[in-house]
Structures are given as C-alpha cells and as structure tokens.
Chains A and B, each alone.
Chain A
Amino acid sequence: MSSNLYEGSVPTSVLKDTLVYRHTIAVLVDNEAGVLARVIGLFSGRGYNIESLTVSVVDDDAQLSRINLVTSGTRQIVEQIKAQLGRLVPVHTVKDLTDEGPSVGRDLALVKVDGVGEERVEALRIGDIFRCNVVDSTNGSFVFEVVGTSEKVDAFIDLMKPLGLVEVSRTGVAAIARGAGGMVDEVLLKPSPKPKASTRPKKKSTSKRKTAAKKIAKKSSPKRKTAAKKARTSSKKKR
C-alpha cells in the first residue's frame, strides 16, 4: 500500500467504541504464489476473525487477484486489520466496503435437500419464492442454487432445515462498491511518485584503491570542474 498522506484516519472517539461490527474488506493483491497463505497467516497469527473469504484472479494481464473478506471486530481491531493487510508487500490496495460508501455483496450456496411427498413439494415452493434455480434433481432430492445477500442465503438454509436439508456448499461473500470506477483501474493508473531522497545509506568508500585514485584525481585537476559535472551537481541541488 502506498500512502504519502494519512487519509482516512479515524477519529479517536470512533476508535474507542467497544461494539463489534462486521466489515467487508476487498483486497487487491499480486497474483503470486503464497499471497493467500500470507493473508490467512496474518489473520490466524494475530487472532483476527475470518467469517468468509473468497479469492480469484480479476486481471490476467496485470496479474491481479481480489480477496473478499468478511471480518468482525471492534473499530480499533478493524482499523488494525486494514493497516496490517496494507503493509503486506504483495498487497496493492485495501478497501473497506462497509465504510467507504454503499456496496453490494452476494453469496451463492448450493443446498441439497432430500425428501419425498409434501416436504419435497414445500421445498420446491420455497425455492421458487427465493428465486432459486434447481440445478440437480432426483426422485428423492433437489440441489438448489440460491444467490443473494448472506442474510437471504441464511434464511433459505434455515427454512430448508426441517424439510430435509442434507448438505450446503457456500462461496462466501463477493462484494463490490456501488457507483462508477473500479479498484483495478485505481491501481493500474496510479501516478508515479515524485523523486525523493535516497533511502540507501551513503556507501563509505573503504577500498584503498579508490581513495588513492581520488587523491590523484584531486592533485591533477584541483579546481577545474567540467561543465557536465557542474550541471549534474546543480541539478542535484534543485531536487
């Protein structure tokens, strides 16, 4: 994560709130081996909670993947999670979809319901109400594909429980911010940073050969500076 400004710093009153909130966070990362392990390791190592997690490639050319995370914690913990994610080297950006304006999230579940007779019919009727697709059917079972918010999927699964629910396979939440403009574009069109002072410590020349050579150079041309060198040093000063 690059930031020259501490944007989005949260006021202290908000940080002192002790209630637990659920946040959906989208993380754009380099599609390199081990990135997911890094993120999971961060959560497990620091004891943060992962309620759901999905990951897949979103841009093949730029080799970018998107991780959608749903986590919960106090405000202070959630800010910590975002900061810790942001400082991982392969992470491009961290976006808190719960905080940064309206967003939409969807969860998909494949729900297998066994049953015959009345229960089977009731299950199908409820599936209709929830606008499910039936993706598998036998004489004694259905597999429903239900898509919606997590609450909708939870509700459907709850309703299926007394009707012969056998198995559930869920994807977890994929979420996206409403409005125009996307995360990938923000990342790819990032402005280049201005030149800044070198972070590398100045290397002291320790080899005797170099210092001897310097002495000889000094002796032979004491005050003559070439035009090029003058230009170079003056441009350094400007920076």
Chain B
Amino acid sequence: MPRDTIDGRQMLGARIILKALEEQGVEVVFGYPGGAVLPIYDEIFKQNRIRHILVRHEQGAVHAAEGYARSTGKVGVVLVTSGPGATNAVTGLTDALMDSIPVVCLTGQVPTHLIGNDAFQEADTIGITRPCTKHNYLVKDPNDLAKTVHEAFYVARSGRPGPVVVDLPKDVMMAKGAYVTAPRGIKRQQHKTYRPAHTPDPASIEAVVDLMVNAERPLFYTGGGVINAGPGASKTLTALVKETGFPITSTLMGLGAYPASGPNWLGMVGMHGTYEANLAMHDCDVMINIGARFDDRVTGNLNFFSPNSKKIHIDIDQSSINKNVIVDIPVVGDAGVALSAITKAWKARKTRPKPKAMKAWWADIKKWMAKDCLDYTQAGSVIKPQYAIQRLFELTKNRETYISTEVGQHQMWAAQFCRFDKPNRWLTSGGLGTMGYGLPAAIGAQLGNPKGLCVDIAGEASILMNIQELSTAVQYRLPVKVFIINNQYMGMVRQWQELLHGGRYSESYTDSLPDFVKLAEAYGLAGLRVEDPAKVDDTIKEMMAIDGPVIVDVRVDQKENCYPMIPSGAAHNHMILGPEDEDEKAITGDGLALV
C-alpha cells in the first residue's frame, strides 16, 4: 500500500501494528497466541503478507527470531501474549541482549485500566524486561502505536543491536488511531536522544595505523561486532588481513568473519580456543580488537592477560571500551567503517612492519601450530564426539550450511572443528550460554534461508530444553537436522566436576533419556541412530538426503573432555592440552570461585 495514502489514516490499533511491521520489511513473525494478543492475531489472519510461525514455547519464539536475525542480518520479530507469555520470553531476550542480536518483541498486556490490579495474566512486563532489553515501551495511546513500532525497529538495529520490547495493552489494540509512516532519509537519524556513533575519529584511526606499521608481533582479534556490521565488514576485514599479512583470531561469536580456510587464520581464541591463538594473544605486541568485548572466556585471568602488548579497541559501544581491559587506543565506531578507514590509512603509509620481525613472529606461530592442539584419536568402536562433528562439517561444507548449537562441550567442539568461511552461518548462544537455543535458532535460520541446510549440533541434555519445537519444524516442513552428540552426561558440567570437584558427578548424568529415534517418529519426523564410527559418514549422508526434518542420535564416548582448556584463574600460556596436563595444572585459589 503506497505510503502516502496510508499516512494519517484511521485504523484499528492491531492493524496499525501490522502495517508498521510491513513497512519495516518484516516477512516472518514468531509467536504464540493468548488472550491479550487476540486482536493482533485476528489481523494476522486477515492478511497474508507477513507469515506467522507458531512455536510451541515463547522462549523458542525468541530464539527462532535470533537465529533468523543472525543468519539474515534482518531484525527478528516475536509476538507473545501477556503474563506468562512475556515472562517465558525473558530468557530469549536476555540472550539477545548478551549477544547483541536485533529482535523486536511485541508483548500483549491487559487493558490499561487493569494494569497494576493483579489482573488475569498480567505481569509487569516493562519492569521485568527493563534490565534484559536494550529498551522497552508501553504504548497507552493508539496514536502512538505506529511511531513506537518504527522507533523500536530503529533502536533494535542501530548502534549495538539488541532486543526491544513493545508492550501493547489490549484496549489500545482494539481502539482506533492514526497510522504514521516511518521517518525516512535524514529524519531517520534524528531520533532526539539515541544517535549511536558510526564514524570513528580520524585521529584515532591514524593512531591505530601508527601502531600497526611499527608492529613486530601484531594480531587481529575480531568478534561479533564484525558480523553485526554486515557482510561488507567481513569482506573489508579479509582484504585488510591479506594486505597487512597479520595473523588473525576470533571469538566464538565472530567465527566466519575471516574465512577459516584463509592463510592467516589461527583458530578461535579463549577458554577452549587453539593453542596458537591463545599464545599469540599472550605474546603479541600490538593487539587490534575489532568488535569484541574482552569477555572473561577470552581473557582468562586479567592480571596476566597479554601483558606486553599495546591494545587497540574498536567498538560501536563506548561502554564496552575500558570496561574489563584498559586499552591504549580506543576507537568508537562501526566495525565496517573503521576497517575501511584503517585500510585506506594503511595504504597511504609508506612504512611497513620490518619483514624480519614478521617472519620471526610467523615462525613462532607455526611452531605453536605444530602442536596440533585439536588432535584426537578416533580408534576403536566408540565414536569420538570430535570425529562426529568433524565428519559432519566435511560432508556439509560444500552446501549453504548454517550451523546452530546448544551449549556445552559439543558447542566448543563445533566451534573448533566447523571451519566457517562466511559470516552469518554460525548461530550460537555465546554471552548467556542458553541451553535450548540451537533447535529454535535452526528453525529461524531455515525460515530466513529456505534453501539452506540448517543443522543444530546438540547435546542430549540441551536438546530436551526446547524439544517441543520439533512440532514447529514439522508443521512448516522445515528440513532442519538435529545432530545430537549423545554422551549421556551434561558434558561441560561433568568436565568441570572432574577437574575441580574431585570427580563428584553431582546431577550431571542425564538419566531417563528418551529414545530419540522413537521420539522423532512420535513427532512425525525421521529418526536415525549411529553408534559405529564406520557408519558415521553414511548416517550423515542419509540425514542430508532426507527431504524433511531429521534427528540423528550419535552415541559418543562418555568421558571425552574438551581441550585445549585454559582453566579458570589461569593465564593464556598455561593451557591444559590433554589428559596428561590435568594434574599439573589443577585449578586452585581464586580460580575455584570462577565460573
């Protein structure tokens, strides 16, 4: 509907919401109905431009919106009802906030005259979601509806993306109001208070390049911020790495920005990162952080973190800078814009790092790579989890594959063995670490990328947290593949109990597991099981060949630990590389109290 004819037109509140979503380019909404949102569901029924995906739990709706957003770059949209609907969404919203994913969550609310009266299915949604969203709104006047939705989208996707909640009382939905079109062009950036930084200060870019051209042991450390800046930023980054010849590592959230097959790739950094990446981070003299936030999983013990390096931090969020690690050159701006500026400034300079120093640095790195820290032995009759995941990667890498994970050991192995060459293909819950994220996220990714091969690498404990979403996959004929690494334990918890708590496996054995193949059939999808290492390849190929959702139950070694590991409280150069290191590098002192 042309913008001019609709601007100012009176219509029902619920219809205003849908028109506003349409104008914002929304194609899919993930939701679950309820009393307070019936007016909106009525309007959804009457139109067919926006597709509604019925999930089976509101948490699944938010995770699906996150998977959709991360895999497509668009804003994910959620629609849930008041009270329990909104509170069920809280975990997903907190997850989106921690991982900076743009999500707009429309929650129903009881009529305005009942707010504060302990009405049926009433919850103080605004109060509850205030700390777990980027911003939230309660709309009390139908004439404010359109403007608020447009503003919600703007806030969700600008600056550092994040979740925004719009609370919609039912009487406001049922009343008539005037539709207002979204501000365009220059007006879009004229929000009265929220105008996030975009272009970095040229002086700071020059300072960055000053350090870079004189560096002897430089390192790029990239994060989710590069992914959020769009696919263009990843291309600029790849070109800059090629131009400078510097080594590059990435956080869990940033995998795929620089292709893992690239010559300068060191692997992921952090608690379960590679030996070479962690040592490079410890020993570098210039660390260029682009879009990462010096999270504790990456830094380890802050007292020993990269002690001799000059640190550059490029981030769109000023509050991330100097929060954990005090840096030498802070740069506030969009990662893509900053990378372009740095490339330009680098090319304009005549000085370059001394070739001898760079050669020595790379020689050190190659020495560390020779340790082959991700090595494992697949022998015997029990499948090693690393083997299963590596074979899955090898057999899917030539397709348009999107990998989502749940949380735990399988997540770390997936990060280590799935070598992403493109951004927006890796969906994982990094900041909050929400079990139950992977299946709905794969569903969201499948809807955003209908031709993609969406695989959820799950643990058998995690998959049960949002198992009900299998119905969603079946209902919409989404061919998501659930690849369960079944070791009968909550692997990561068990590993920590082994290292810290003397092997007392308290409540970490997943008892009373369902038969996943029978469960799959009960839900109406295909179920496969594999226990023999020789049959892993065939099972994966079968999984890919089935035109529809599939669960694969992969029975793996129950006591395999995830290495390398920087034990909590330790520095980067004290990694546990395998079982033989465990006793020497036991966790002591302050390390015991850390998660």
| A positions within 8 Å CB-CB of B | 1-6, 9-10, 12, 15-16, 29-30, 33-34, 37-38, 41, 45, 76, 79-80, 83-84, 86-92, 192-193, 195-196, 198-201, 203, 206
In the complex, 30 of the A-B residue pairs with CB atoms within 8 angstroms, ordered by the A residue number, are: A2-B193, A2-B195, A2-B196, A5-B201, A6-B201, A6-B330, A10-B322, A12-B327, A12-B328, A30-B192, A37-B130, A79-B322, A80-B319, A80-B322, A80-B323, A83-B319, A84-B319, A86-B318, A87-B318, A89-B134, A89-B193, A89-B194, A192-B190, A193-B186, A193-B189, A195-B186, A198-B188, A199-B158, A201-B72, A203-B25
Min CB gap B72→A, angstroms: 8
Contact A4:B138 (CB < 8 A) given known A76-B326, A91-B193, A199-B157: no
Q: B230's contact among A4, A15, A193, A201, by CB below 8 Å, is which?
A: A201
- B-chain residues with CB within 8 Å of residue A198 when the two chains form the complex: 188
Complexed CA–CA distance, A121 and B156 (Å): 63
- B-chain residues with CB within 8 Å of residue A83 when the two chains form the complex: 318-319, 321
SS of B interface (majority):
loop
A6-B331, A201-B73 known; 15 new pairs, CB 8 Å cut-off, are A2-B196, A3-B332, A4-B197, A4-B201, A6-B200, A6-B201, A9-B330, A12-B326, A37-B130, A45-B131, A79-B322, A83-B318, A87-B159, A89-B193, A201-B72
Q: B199's contact among A30, A79, A196, by CB below 8 Å, is which?
A: A196
SS of A interface (majority):
loop
* Top-3 shortest CB links A-B: A2-B195, A83-B319, A89-B135
Min CB gap A145→B, angstroms: 36
Do A193 and B331 touch across chains, with their CB atoms under 8 A apart?
no
Do A196 and B198 touch across chains, with their CB atoms under 8 A apart?
yes
Q: B126's contact among A5, A34, A84, A203, by CB below 8 Å, is which?
A: A34
- B-chain residues with CB within 8 Å of residue A2 when the two chains form the complex: 193-197
Do A196 and B127 touch across chains, with their CB atoms under 8 A apart?
no
Complexed CA–CA distance, A3 and B159 (Å): 11
Interface size class of B (residues with CB under 8 A): 35 or more
B180-215 vs A, Cβ < 8 Å mask (1 yes, 0 no): 000001101110111111111100100000000000
- A-chain residues with CB within 8 Å of residue B332 when the two chains form the complex: 3, 5-6
Min CB gap B494→A, angstroms: 32
Say if the beta carbon of B235 comes within 8 Å of chain A: no
Complexed CA–CA distance, A201 and B204 (Å): 28
B111-154 vs A, Cβ < 8 Å mask (1 yes, 0 no): 00000000000000011001100110010000000000000000
Say if the beta carbon of B529 comes within 8 Å of chain A: no
- A-chain residues with CB within 8 Å of residue B198 when the two chains form the complex: 4, 196
Complexed CA–CA distance, A84 and B158 (Å): 16
Do B192 and A92 touch across chains, with their CB atoms under 8 A apart?
yes
- B-chain residues with CB within 8 Å of residue A4 when the two chains form the complex: 197-199, 201
- B-chain residues with CB within 8 Å of residue A90 when the two chains form the complex: 135, 193
Min CB gap A4→B, angstroms: 5
Say if the beta carbon of B317 comes within 8 Å of chain A: yes
Do A15 and B326 touch across chains, with their CB atoms under 8 A apart?
yes
Do B195 and A200 touch across chains, with their CB atoms under 8 A apart?
no
Do A87 and B319 touch across chains, with their CB atoms under 8 A apart?
yes
Min CB gap B332→A, angstroms: 4
- Give the residue among A15, A41, A89 with the most B Cβ atoms within 10 A: A89
Do A16 and B190 touch across chains, with their CB atoms under 8 A apart?
no
- A-chain residues with CB within 8 Å of residue B188 when the two chains form the complex: 198
- Give the residue among A9, A34, A80, A92 with the most B Cβ atoms within 10 A: A9
Say if the beta carbon of B297 comes within 8 Å of chain A: no
Min CB gap A77→B, angstroms: 10
Give the residues from 60 to 84 in chain B that come closer than 8 angstroms, CB to CB, to chain A.
72-74
- B-chain residues with CB within 8 Å of residue A199 when the two chains form the complex: 157-158
Say if the beta carbon of B27 comes within 8 Å of chain A: yes
- A-chain residues with CB within 8 Å of residue B130 when the two chains form the complex: 34, 37-38, 41
Residue of B nearest to A196 (CB): B198
Complexed CA–CA distance, A229 and B189 (Å): 25
Complexed CA–CA distance, A91 and B196 (Å): 12
Residue of B nearest to A91 (CB): B193
Say if the beta carbon of B155 comes within 8 Å of chain A: yes
Complexed CA–CA distance, A196 and B195 (Å): 12
Complexed CA–CA distance, A33 and B200 (Å): 33
Do A3 and B197 touch across chains, with their CB atoms under 8 A apart?
yes
- B-chain residues with CB within 8 Å of residue A206 when the two chains form the complex: 27
Residue of A nearest to B160 (CB): A87
Min CB gap A71→B, angstroms: 15
Min CB gap B558→A, angstroms: 39
Min CB gap B450→A, angstroms: 9
Residue of B nearest to A13 (CB): B326
- A-chain residues with CB within 8 Å of residue B197 when the two chains form the complex: 2-4, 6
Min CB gap B446→A, angstroms: 15
Do A195 and B185 touch across chains, with their CB atoms under 8 A apart?
yes
Min CB gap B97→A, angstroms: 12
Do B194 and A6 touch across chains, with their CB atoms under 8 A apart?
no
Min CB gap A191→B, angstroms: 11
Min CB gap B208→A, angstroms: 12
Residue of A nearest to B200 (CB): A6
Give the residues from 400 to 416 in chain B that come closer than 8 angstroms, CB to CB, to chain A.
none
Complexed CA–CA distance, A10 and B198 (Å): 20
Residue of B nearest to A84 (CB): B319
Residue of A nearest to B184 (CB): A198
Min CB gap B232→A, angstroms: 10
- A-chain residues with CB within 8 Å of residue B192 when the two chains form the complex: 30, 92
Q: B190's contact among A79, A87, A193, by CB below 8 Å, is which?
A: A193
Min CB gap B48→A, angstroms: 11
